Structure 1
Amino acid sequence: MLKKLLIGGILVVGAIFIGIKMMPVGEKIDPLVYFDEFKNNGINLVYKDQRIDLEEPVLLEDAKIYVSYDFARNYVSDTIYYDKTEKILTITTLEELLRMTPDSKEGVLNGETISLEAPIIERGGKLYLPESLLEERFKVDVYVTLEDQLFVAVDLKEARETAKVKSKTELRTHPQYKSTYMDNLQRGEQVVIYKEEGEFLRVQSEKGFIGFIPKGAVKERTQQAGLTVEEEILPKPSNPLNEKVKLVWDQLGSKNPGNWGTSKYDHVTQANVISPTWFEFADEKGNLIDRGTVEYVQEAKKRGLQVWPLISHNFTEPALTRTILTSTKKRQHVIDQLIEKAEFYGVDGLNIDIENVQSDFSAEWIQFMRELSVQVKSKGFTLSVDIYMPSNWSNHYARVELAQVCDYFIVMAYDQHWSGSEVAGSVAELPWVEEGLQKNLEEVPKSKLVLGIPFFTRVWEETAEGLKSVPYGMAPAQNLVNNWGVEPVLDPNSGQRYAQVQKEGSLFKVWLEDESSIKQRIGLVNEYDLAGYAAWKLGLETPTIWNILAEIE
Structure 2
Amino acid sequence: MKRKVIPVLIGLLLIVLILAGAAGVFLFQRYSGSKEEADLNAYFGLNGSQEVAIVWNQELTEEKGLLQDERCYLKLDTVHEMLNERFYVDHNEKLLLYTLPEETVQIGIGEQTADGYTAAVEQNGDVWLALDYVKQYSDFNYALYTEPNRVVLTTNWDTLQSAELKKNTALRVRGGVKSEVLQNLEKGTKVTVLEEMENWDQVQTQDGYIGYVRKKHLTDPAEETPVKDTGYVEPDYTGNLRDHKIDLAWHQVTVESANSTFPGVMSGVTGVNVISPTWYSLYDNTGVVDGIASPSYVQQAHALGLEVWALIDDFTHREDNGVDPQEILSYTSKRTAIIEVLMSEADRCGFDGINVDFEKVTEDGSQDYIQFIRELSVACRQKGLVLSVDNYVPHNYNAHYKWAEQGVMADYVIIMGYDEHWGGSEVAGSVASLGYVTEGIERMTQEVPSEKVINAVPLYTRIWTTAEDGTVKSRAVGIQSAYDYMNKNQATATWDNSVGQNYVEFETSDGTVQIWLEDEQSLEAKINVMKEHNLGGIAAWKLGFDDGRKNIWGVISGFAAE
Judge same fold: TM > 0.5, yes or no. Answer: yes
Go from structure 1 to structure 2 and tell me whether the alpha carbon gap of 1:258 and 1:213 turns closer, same or farther (over 3 Å shift).
same
- 1:447 deviation in Å? 1.2
Is 2:42 aligned against 1:33? yes
- How far apart, CA to CA, are the structure 2 residues paired with 1:518 and 1:144? 58
Question: Which residues of 2 match residues 204-219 of structure 1 at below 5 A?
Answer: 204-218=204-218
Question: Equivalent residue for 2:168?
Answer: 168
Question: Which residues of 2 match residues 364-513 of structure 1 at below 5 A?
Answer: 364-464=368-468, 466-513=471-518
Task: Name the aligned partner's letter for residue 524 of structure 2.
Answer: K
On the 8 A contact 1:69/1:127 being kept in 2, the answer is yes
- How far apart, CA to CA, are the structure 2 residues paired with 1:449 and 1:230? 26
- How far apart, CA to CA, are the structure 1 residues paired with 2:28 and 2:557? 78
Unaligned runs of 5+ in 1: 1-17, 107-114
- 1:284 deviation in Å? 0.4
On the 8 A contact 1:139/1:155 being kept in 2, the answer is no
Question: Equivalent residue for 1:133?
Answer: 133
Question: Equivalent residue for 1:195?
Answer: 194
Go from structure 1 to structure 2 and tell me whether the alpha carbon gap of 1:516 and 1:121 turns closer, same or farther (over 3 Å shift).
closer
- 1:127 deviation in Å? 3.4
Is 2:90 aligned against 1:90? no
- 1:346 deviation in Å? 1.4
- How far apart, CA to CA, are the structure 2 residues paired with 1:396 and 1:64? 32
- 1:487 deviation in Å? 1.5
Question: Equivalent residue for 1:357?
Answer: 361
Task: Name the aligned partner's letter for residue 476 of structure 1.
Answer: S
- 1:523 deviation in Å? 1.4
On the 8 A contact 2:270/2:554 being kept in 1, the answer is no
- 3-state SS of paired residue (1:377): helix
- 1:492 deviation in Å? 3.3
Go from structure 1 to structure 2 and tell me whether the alpha carbon gap of 1:527 and 1:176 turns closer, same or farther (over 3 Å shift).
farther
- How far apart, CA to CA, are the structure 1 residues paired with 2:437 and 2:82? 36
Go from structure 1 to structure 2 and tell me whether the alpha carbon gap of 1:505 and 1:174 turns closer, same or farther (over 3 Å shift).
same
Go from structure 1 to structure 2 and tell me whether the alpha carbon gap of 1:169 and 1:459 turns closer, same or farther (over 3 Å shift).
same
Go from structure 1 to structure 2 and tell me whether the alpha carbon gap of 1:295 and 1:184 turns closer, same or farther (over 3 Å shift).
same
- 1:456 deviation in Å? 0.5
Question: Which residues of 2 match residues 19-418 of structure 1 at below 5 A?
Answer: 28-35=37-44, 37-39=45-47, 43-48=51-56, 49-54=58-63, 57-61=65-69, 63-105=70-112, 115=114, 117-122=116-121, 124-125=123-124, 126-147=126-147, 149-155=148-154, 158=157, 164-174=164-174, 179-191=179-191, 193=192, 195-198=194-197, 201-218=201-218, 223-227=225-229, 229-235=232-238, 237-238=239-240, 240-256=241-257, 258-259=259-260, 262-315=263-316, 316-317=318-319, 319-418=323-422
Q: Aligned pairs, how many?
A: 522
- How far apart, CA to CA, are the structure 2 residues paired with 1:22 and 1:53? 34
Alpha-carbon RMSD across the aligned residues, in angstroms, is: 3.0
- 3-state SS of paired residue (1:358): coil
- 1:429 deviation in Å? 0.9
TM-score normalised by the chain length of structure 1: 0.86
- 1:215 deviation in Å? 5.0
Task: Name the aligned partner's letter for residue 245 of structure 1.
Answer: I
Question: Equivalent residue for 1:533?
Answer: 538
- 1:458 deviation in Å? 0.7
- 1:201 deviation in Å? 4.9
Question: Equivalent residue for 1:14?
Answer: none
Give CA-to-partner distance per residue, 1:363-388, whole Å, 9 cap, x none.
Answer: 22222222222332222211111111
Comparing 134-143 and 73-82, the one that deviates more: 134-143
- How far apart, CA to CA, are the structure 2 residues paired with 1:21 and 1:551? 81
- How far apart, CA to CA, are the structure 1 residues paired with 2:262 and 2:329? 39
Go from structure 1 to structure 2 and tell me whether the alpha carbon gap of 1:174 and 1:305 turns closer, same or farther (over 3 Å shift).
farther
Is 2:529 aligned against 1:524? yes
- 1:302 deviation in Å? 0.6
Comparing 521-530 and 90-99, the one that deviates more: 90-99
- How far apart, CA to CA, are the structure 2 residues paired with 1:73 and 1:46? 14
- 3-state SS of paired residue (1:154): strand
Give CA-to-partner distance per residue, 1:342-361, whole Å, 9 cap, x none.
Answer: 23221211111111222222
On the 8 A contact 1:140/1:156 being kept in 2, the answer is yes
On the 8 A contact 1:117/1:132 being kept in 2, the answer is no
Go from structure 1 to structure 2 and tell me whether the alpha carbon gap of 1:489 and 1:224 turns closer, same or farther (over 3 Å shift).
closer
Comparing 367-376 and 405-414, the one that deviates more: 367-376
- 1:265 deviation in Å? 0.6
Go from structure 1 to structure 2 and tell me whether the alpha carbon gap of 1:132 and 1:495 turns closer, same or farther (over 3 Å shift).
closer
- How far apart, CA to CA, are the structure 1 residues paired with 2:143 and 2:356? 43
Unaligned runs of 5+ in 2: 1-26
- How far apart, CA to CA, are the structure 2 residues paired with 1:123 and 1:540? 53
- How far apart, CA to CA, are the structure 2 residues paired with 1:427 and 1:382? 29
Comparing 369-378 and 25-34, the one that deviates more: 25-34
Give CA-to-partner distance per residue, 1:66-89, whole Å, 9 cap, x none.
Answer: 444444333221211212232111
- 1:39 deviation in Å? 2.9
- 3-state SS of paired residue (2:234): coil
On the 8 A contact 2:370/2:402 being kept in 1, the answer is yes
Bigger Rg, structure 1 or 2: 2
Go from structure 1 to structure 2 and tell me whether the alpha carbon gap of 1:45 and 1:305 turns closer, same or farther (over 3 Å shift).
same
On the 8 A contact 1:257/1:294 being kept in 2, the answer is no
Task: Name the aligned partner's letter for residue 382 of structure 1.
Answer: V
- How far apart, CA to CA, are the structure 2 residues paired with 1:38 and 1:208? 14
- 3-state SS of paired residue (1:284): coil
- How far apart, CA to CA, are the structure 2 residues paired with 1:205 and 1:41? 23
On the 8 A contact 2:418/2:457 being kept in 1, the answer is yes
